[in-house]
Structure formats: structure tokens, C-alpha cells
Structure 1
Amino acid sequence: MANRLLPLIILVVVVIVLIAIGYIAYSIAQEVSDKTKSKMEKRNVMFTKDGMKVGVREVREEEYVDRSQSILVNMWNHTSFPAYKSRLWDMTGSASGSSSGNGEGKAEQRKG
């Protein structure tokens, strides 16, 4: 009779160990989920049954325009146009009055 009970006892012990490991993993996952949820709620992100909702902080229109303009001005100030020659106007600042009247002077200026 002892030979029949030994495999049963081993099976019960293995099942209990697997249940304990599963419970520990589940509790750790729930704890991580709760901490993550609380941290995300501090940043205006909320998880619901329907999905995720993102709260938007209210920014006044004037503040929004100021930020946008400052970004554009910074980008403009930090750009450079190396060896850029415009076809529409002379970037060197010299007067373009050297044409002979038939338009060939302007074409020569653009070429080189």
C-alpha cells in the first residue's frame, strides 16, 4: 500500500509547489501593475475598461503661440545656407543695374 501512496504524495507536493510559484508570480505582477497605474495617473494617463485615456493639461493660447514662435525663431537663427544663390534675388547685396537692356546681363549674373 505504501508503494501506491508515494506517487500520489509526490504529485500533491509538485502541484502545491506549482500553485505557490504561480501565486507569487501573480502577486508580483499585480503589484507592478498597481505601481505603474499610480505613476501614470500622476502624469494624466488613466487606464479604464474601454482603454487608455490621456488627460491634456490646459495651456493658454498665448502661451502656446509663444512656445511655437520661439521654437521657429530658434530654428531660423541656427540654420545656415552655405553657397546658396537665389534665382529671384541677389543675396550678395550688390546692385543689379549692369544689364544691357535685352536681358542678357541678368542671365549672365545667374549663371555665374
Structure 2
Amino acid sequence: MANRLIPLAILVVVVTVLVAIGFITYRIVRDVKSTTKTKMEKRNVMVTRDGMTVGVKELGEEDILVNMWNHTSFPAYKSRLWDMTGSASGSGSGNGEGKVEHRKGLACSHSHS
């Protein structure tokens, strides 16, 4: 009868060890999730079953306008009143027509050759 109880005892010990490892793993995962959720909520990031929501700190309209103004550039803007590039006026680059004509001239010169 003792020979029949040894495999049963080994089975109980193995199952107990596996349950203990599973329980410890579950606790660690739960604690990491809780800690991460708390840290994310401090940064206005909410994670729910539907997805993630990112909160935005409140800014006044003036702050937003000043921020946009400071980070805006107009690289393709050319004034009709003055030349911002510093090149001589009357060079045909005012509205781009000179470049188009130049390209047309190159296309025609290649077709005649």
C-alpha cells in the first residue's frame, strides 16, 4: 500500500509547486499592472478596455496662438511688395513664370535635336 501512495504524494507536491508558481506570477503581474496604471494616470494617460485615452493639459487660447506663431514658418511665401530672398528684382522669379518658360525652352531644344 505504501507503493501506491508514493506516486500520489509526488503528484500532490508537483501540483502544489505549480500552483504556488502560478499564484506568485499572478501577484507580480497584478502589482506591475497596478503600478504602471498609477504612473500613467499621473501623466494623464488612461487605459481602459475600449482603448487608451490621453488627457491634454489645459492651455489658454493665447498660449496656443503664441506657440503656433513661434513654431510657424512660411518657406514658400513670396511677397509681392518686397523680395525676401535678397536676389535682384526683375530676375523673372517673382511668380515662377521664368522657370516655366525656361523648362519649355529646354524641352523644345531637345525635341529639335
Q: Same fold judged by TM-score > 0.5?
A: yes
Report how far residue 51 of structure 1 moved: 4.3
- 5 Å matches for 1:1-112? 1-48=1-48, 50-73=50-73, 76=75, 92-95=87-90, 111=102
With over 3 angstroms needed to count, the CA separation of the structure-2 counterparts of 1:95 and 1:54, relative to structure 1, is: closer
Structure 1 consecutive aligned stretches of length 4 or more whose deviation exceeds 6 Å: none
Identity, in percent, stands at 52
Structure 2 unmatched runs, 5+: 76-82, 92-96, 106-113
Report how far residue 95 of structure 1 moved: 3.5
Distance 1:72 1:94 in 2: 26
Distance 1:17 1:3 in 2: 22
Count the aligned residue pairs. 88
Letter in 2 for 1:18: L
Structure 1 unmatched runs, 5+: 77-88, 97-105
SS at match of 2:57: coil
Aligned CA RMSD, in angstroms, stands at: 3.0
Letter in 2 for 1:17: V
Letter in 1 for 2:18: L
Q: Deviations over 1:52-111 (max 9, x none)?
A: 4332211111111111121113x85xxxxxxxxxxxx9x631446xxxxxxxxx96xx53
Q: Deviations over 1:10-62 (max 9, x none)?
A: 00000000001001100100110011011001011223455443322111111
